A and B are shown apart, each in its own frame.
Chain A
Amino acid sequence: MEATTAPAPRAGKASSRTRSERKLGWMLCAPAVIAMLLVTAYPIIYAVVLSFQDLDLRFPEEGGFVGLDNYSTVLTSDLWWTDLFNTLFITVIAVAIELVLGMAIALVMYRAIFGRGAIRASVLIPYGIITVVAAFSWQFAFDPATGFVNNLPLIADDKAWFGERFSAFAVIIMAEIWKTVPFMALLLLAGLTTIDDGLYEAAKVDGASAWQRFWRITLPLMKPAILVALLFRTLDSFRVFDTIFIMTRGAQDTESVSILGFNQLISRLNLGLGSAVSVLIFFCVLIIAFLFIRGLGARTQEGRVG
């Protein structure tokens, strides 16, 4: 505790002042820290504790401490690995397409000469729609009996989109992309606005083409913004639940790890197994965040130098 009260106080007077400021600082952030502990640390620790137990609400008199049994059950199950693959598949494809589309939309929003406010607001509409509602709209659109998609040219009238794995994946991923591209675009737009226009003018004077300006100026300077956007969306996408739950409930091998956790926790009330799944999802998220932040830290420095 003492060691952390640095930065090294030089005079006694300053030291006591620093200390009281520190104290005030702690007091000011105490409510936030306490709230964080209550709403995040406590549930996480509780989930870890539950994951070491054989606990099923439907069988209240059974159970007890089982060590790592739940984890070995999950990790030796084909289901966990299939679902992890599905989740990563959806995440990688959706985030990659979102990045490209989001960048395009961000450039349009940035360059828009008229109706800037209207364009930015209208682009945001899908993001404002509740995921469950969006998922239902997409499901109805692709429903062979009631949807309009099968009436479009080049599409078989009786195509059952959710009756087969890859077409089901395609609809799920499209719905995810449609919903979150605006978010991606907004984050990227924030990055775009930080770039000094003078750089573009200088490049133009030197005869750089539009493509060269994008590739050599925009992208390198936006790296930090791009990495932040990718981090947010990857973590978000890894938790994909609503869209799959509404469209297939995990049928046709489209189940994500969150649906797997839901099945154990809410349908089976098997809190032990379900918590083990949740804790494993938590670790996956930690790993993703760790990888990104390592990349992010390095790139931010680079960006500043430029």
Chain B
Amino acid sequence: MRRGLGLGRLGVSFVIALCGAVIVSGCGGGGESGPPSLNWFVAIQPGGSIEEVAKRCNEQAQGRYEIELELLPTDADPQREQLVRRLGAEDSSVDLIGMDIPWTAEFANAGWLRPYEGALAEQVTKDAFDSAVEAASFEGKVYGAPFNSNTQLLFYRKDVAPTPPTTWDQMIDQAEQLGTTIQVQALRYEGYVVLFNTLLQSAGGEILSGPEEVALPQGPTEEALRILGKLANSGAAAPDISTSDEDSARLGYEGGASAFMVNYTFAFGSAEENAPDVHAQTGVARYPEVVPGMPSRPPLGGFNIGVSAFSEHPEEAFQAATCITSPMGQLLATELDGLPPSNETLYTDPVVTEAYPGFSELVKQSLDDAATRALTPAYTDLSLSIQRTLHPPDKINPDDVGPTYDELKSNAEDAVKREGLQ
């Protein structure tokens, strides 16, 4: 009997300890006294712009709220994995979300976000690029305040190719003649879907015509596949093309092995820092066309600020979101991390013209014409399915893309209906 009691006591104290731990972590940073703290889950930026923006907004808030940072990894997939686990479990410790643009439809459809309504929606979208607003909206409502918008440009070596190629076919042929290579992103990850989507939209096609409606028109899709297959099977492909991402592309270009690279704007500053010789010879041009004479649709990237549906301080969270995405916040991200602003009106600001010397207008134009990604709540399924079907790129036969096209279309149709394994 005595033993039993002892055991019981032990059990009780264990339970108390456990509850204590839960309560402490549940209230973590909640703070009964002082301003409500807002947890901002956002990808870390190496230049420290996120920390600086949070600091400035906290100063401006004058005690109405206090933003606390929960920094996420640099890669998009792990960022999303960490967020969806919390949001799926209705975690109230998430207040503000730094959303990569393809997540909007998924998060909004799942009921994880509060929409921006009325004047607030007007305020956060009025100066932004149409492409950025489109990517931040789902079923007619705005779910994200555009913070920064990214796009890809063609970086080339002026000493190797004095006049930059304007089409993909030209670029591949030119690289082969010059005995150099082209850096792209074709690892089996989201960035490869971005490459395919950009080629497809530049050829005049689209992946989806509605949330569950696969478009993939035959002509443009086959043209995009032909370019992918031609590049991967030519001497112009970097040896590590099937494992290349933004960073390996940058390294390959900075190392001098490749005279051409399509990449986000960060690559310019990176070359300046890591390879001054290469940087001195670097030219910047618009993303190459797929169909000669038809303007390309460069990729659209970037982050929007969403407000979690499970936040206990939604009003303060919306205030903080408008502060973060204000011109002050956007320009800080440009200044410290080279991220292009989402507001078109900021492109004459000295901060922007200095960050993109001589090509700020090119960045603006690219964002104006940028290709948004498919808007569907099942985006992850679709992305995984496209990655699986088209990877590795050298399995696409440029002389006969028919079989790949058929496979792609049928897999995409299953994916938007969320059928099968991915």
A residues neighboring B (CB under 8 Å): 24, 27, 30-31, 56-60, 73-74, 77, 79-80, 143-146, 158-160, 162-163, 248-252, 260, 263-264, 266-270, 273, 277
Q: How far is the CA of A24 from the CA of B2 in the complex (A)?
A: 12
User: Which residues of chain A are within 8 angstroms of B242 by Cβ–Cβ distance?
Assistant: 160, 162-163, 251-252
Q: How far is the CB of B351 from chain A (nearest CB, A)?
A: 33
User: Which residues of chain B are within 8 angstroms of A270 by Cβ–Cβ distance?
Assistant: 418
Identify 9 residue pairs between A and B in the complex whose beta-carbon atoms are under 8 Å apart, listed by A's number: A58-B84, A77-B420, A143-B248, A145-B252, A146-B251, A162-B242, A249-B188, A267-B81, A269-B88
Stretch from B128-136, B319-327, B376-384 forming part of the interface with A: B376-384
Q: How far is the CA of A252 from the CA of B395 in the complex (A)?
A: 11
User: Which residues of chain A are within 8 angstroms of B240 by Cβ–Cβ distance?
Assistant: 143-145, 158, 160, 162-163
| B88→A57 contact, CB < 8 A | yes
| A267→B251 contact, CB < 8 A | no
Q: How far is the CB of A135 from chain B (nearest CB, A)?
A: 14
Interface assignment of B391: CB less than 8 Å from any CB of chain A: yes
| A145→B248 contact, CB < 8 A | yes
| B252→A163 contact, CB < 8 A | no
| B81→A58 contact, CB < 8 A | no
Interface residues of B in 378-422 (CB under 8 A from A): 378, 380-381, 384, 391-392, 418-422
**B176-189: contact bitstring with A at CB < 8 Å (1 yes, 0 no)?**
00000000000111
Q: How far is the CA of A143 from the CA of B188 in the complex (A)?
A: 16
Interface residues of B in 85-143 (CB under 8 A from A): 85, 88, 106, 109-111
Q: How far is the CB of A97 from chain B (nearest CB, A)?
A: 25
New A-B contacts (7) at CB < 8 Å, excluding given A162-B243, A163-B242, A268-B381: A73-B420, A77-B421, A145-B252, A163-B243, A251-B242, A264-B422, A269-B88
| A264→B421 contact, CB < 8 A | yes
- When C-beta atoms are compared, the residue in chain B nearest to A58 turns out to be B110
Interface residues of B in 1-34 (CB under 8 A from A): 3-4, 7, 11
Q: How far is the CB of A48 from chain B (nearest CB, A)?
A: 19
Interface assignment of B239: CB less than 8 Å from any CB of chain A: yes
| B422→A144 contact, CB < 8 A | no
| B384→A27 contact, CB < 8 A | no
Q: How far is the CA of A268 from the CA of B255 in the complex (A)?
A: 37
Interface assignment of B77: CB less than 8 Å from any CB of chain A: yes
User: Which residues of chain B are within 8 angstroms of A277 by Cβ–Cβ distance?
Assistant: 421
User: Which residues of chain B are within 8 angstroms of A158 by Cβ–Cβ distance?
Assistant: 239-240
User: Which residues of chain A are within 8 angstroms of B248 by Cβ–Cβ distance?
Assistant: 143, 145
Q: What are the 8 closest A-B residue pairs judged by CB atoms, nearest first?
A: A251-B188, A158-B239, A57-B88, A160-B240, A163-B242, A58-B110, A77-B421, A162-B243
| B88→A27 contact, CB < 8 A | no
| A27→B189 contact, CB < 8 A | no
- When C-beta atoms are compared, the residue in chain A nearest to B394 turns out to be A163
| B81→A74 contact, CB < 8 A | no
If A145-B240, A251-B242, A251-B243 touch, whether A266 touches B421 (CB-CB below 8 Å) is: no
| B239→A266 contact, CB < 8 A | no
User: Which residues of chain B are within 8 angstroms of A260 by Cβ–Cβ distance?
Assistant: 421
- When C-beta atoms are compared, the residue in chain A nearest to B387 turns out to be A251
Q: How far is the CA of A86 from the CA of B392 in the complex (A)?
A: 17
Q: How far is the CB of B402 from chain A (nearest CB, A)?
A: 21
| B239→A268 contact, CB < 8 A | no
User: Which residues of chain A are within 8 angstroms of B378 by Cβ–Cβ distance?
Assistant: 58
| B421→A74 contact, CB < 8 A | yes
Q: How far is the CA of A56 from the CA of B242 in the complex (A)?
A: 31
User: Which residues of chain B are within 8 angstroms of A27 by Cβ–Cβ distance?
Assistant: 3-4, 7
Q: How far is the CB of B44 from chain A (nearest CB, A)?
A: 18
Q: How far is the CA of A47 from the CA of B115 in the complex (A)?
A: 34
From A56, A57, A163, residue with most partner B Cβ within 10 Å: A163
- When C-beta atoms are compared, the residue in chain A nearest to B379 turns out to be A58
| B251→A60 contact, CB < 8 A | no
From A24, A58, A80, A264, residue with most partner B Cβ within 10 Å: A58
Q: How far is the CB of A52 from chain B (nearest CB, A)?
A: 17
| A266→B85 contact, CB < 8 A | yes
Q: How far is the CA of A276 from the CA of B420 in the complex (A)?
A: 12
CB contact between B377 and one of A30, A59, A79 (< 8 Å): that residue? A59
| A59→B110 contact, CB < 8 A | yes
Interface assignment of B367: CB less than 8 Å from any CB of chain A: no
| A268→B187 contact, CB < 8 A | no
Interface assignment of B241: CB less than 8 Å from any CB of chain A: yes
Q: How far is the CA of A264 from the CA of B385 in the complex (A)?
A: 12
- When C-beta atoms are compared, the residue in chain A nearest to B4 turns out to be A27
Q: How far is the CA of A252 from the CA of B377 in the complex (A)?
A: 27
CB contact between B421 and one of A56, A80, A251 (< 8 Å): that residue? A80
Q: How far is the CB of B70 from chain A (nearest CB, A)?
A: 18
Q: How far is the CB of B186 from chain A (nearest CB, A)?
A: 10
User: Which residues of chain A are within 8 angstroms of B188 by Cβ–Cβ distance?
Assistant: 248-251
| A267→B77 contact, CB < 8 A | yes
User: Which residues of chain A are within 8 angstroms of B110 by Cβ–Cβ distance?
Assistant: 57-60
| B420→A267 contact, CB < 8 A | no
**B354-381: contact bitstring with A at CB < 8 Å (1 yes, 0 no)?**
0000000000000000000000011011
Q: How far is the CA of A266 from the CA of B82 in the complex (A)?
A: 9
| A163→B239 contact, CB < 8 A | yes
User: Which residues of chain A are within 8 angstroms of B251 by Cβ–Cβ distance?
Assistant: 145-146
- When C-beta atoms are compared, the residue in chain B nearest to A61 turns out to be B111
Q: How far is the CA of A213 from the CA of B240 in the complex (A)?
A: 50
| A57→B421 contact, CB < 8 A | no
Q: How far is the CB of A104 from chain B (nearest CB, A)?
A: 34
Q: How far is the CA of A68 from the CA of B4 in the complex (A)?
A: 45
User: Which residues of chain B are within 8 angstroms of A269 by Cβ–Cβ distance?
Assistant: 84, 88, 380
Q: How far is the CB of A47 from chain B (nearest CB, A)?
A: 16
| A268→B380 contact, CB < 8 A | yes
Q: How far is the CA of A159 from the CA of B239 in the complex (A)?
A: 7
